[in-house]
Amino acid sequence: MISTINIAESFGRFQQRWTPKIVAELNDSYVKLAKLEGEFVWHKHDDEDELFLVVRGSLLIRLRDGDLHVEEGELVVIPRGVEHLPVADEEVQVLLIEPKTTLNTGNVRSERTIEKLEWI
């Protein structure tokens, strides 16, 4: 069965920060929703480009050569190999699309690493 996903309703179903939830899959990728608040860890994904679409709030993505500000209703693709540090002064809701193989902390393992993502 093919079902539609209401993005706002899905965000209402979890509270954890930095814990992406899978809502859909297509081809070799997952569509994930995540709530971000505070500072993440510097990391990169060696073989995977990563899409951030800001659904609510204002996301700062620090890069080694400058800052990116991604506002509500904006998207950005962080290409493979580019180190980045997401920072959310207040809660930010993002939709992520990335290959199923992507680890949230990329090349780094830390207490923030989520080994097994949940579907919601």
Contact positions with a second copy (CB under 8 A) in 60-119: 63, 68-71, 73-79, 82, 97-99
By three-state DSSP, how is residue 11 classified? helix
Answer for which of 3, 46, 111, 116 binds a second copy (CB under 8 A) is 3
d(CA 44, CA 78): 9
Span near a second copy by CB under 8 A; candidates 17-25, 35-43, 86-94, 109-117: 17-25
**What residues contact 104, with CB distance under 8 A and at least 6 apart?**
18, 20, 112, 113, 114, 117
> Residues in the site for a second copy, rule: CB under 8 A?
2-8, 23-29, 31, 48-51, 53, 63, 68-71, 73-79, 82, 97-99
